[in-house]
């Protein structure tokens, strides 16, 4: 009478999901920083700093 509950099979085990998510965020941030234009966002003058 017991009903078997089958575990779902994933491509990557669930214990590695946090590492994969963190790596994806890190890669996205590095790409964003690499493609951004720093000269237009940060200007340094004698009188001060404007962001």
CA distance 21 to 24: 5
Asked whether residue 51 carries a pLDDT value surpassing 60, the answer given is: no
pLDDT in tens, 3-35: 888 888 888 888 999 999 999 999 999 998 888
Give me the torsion for CA of 42, 44, 49, 51, rounded to 10°.
-10
What pLDDT, on the 0 to 100 scale, is given for residue 4? 86
pLDDT band at 43 (very low <50, low <70, confident <90, very high): low
Asked whether 48 and 38 are in contact (CB, 8 A), the reply is no
Asked whether 43 and 50 are in contact (CB, 8 A), the reply is yes
């Amino acid at each position: 009478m017991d009903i078997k509950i089958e575990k779902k099979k994933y491509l990557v085990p669930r214990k590695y999901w946090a590492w994969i998510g963190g790596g994806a965020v890190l890669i996205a941030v590095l790409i964003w920083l690499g493609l951004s234009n720093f000269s237009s966002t940060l200007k340094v003058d004698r009188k001060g700093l404007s962001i």
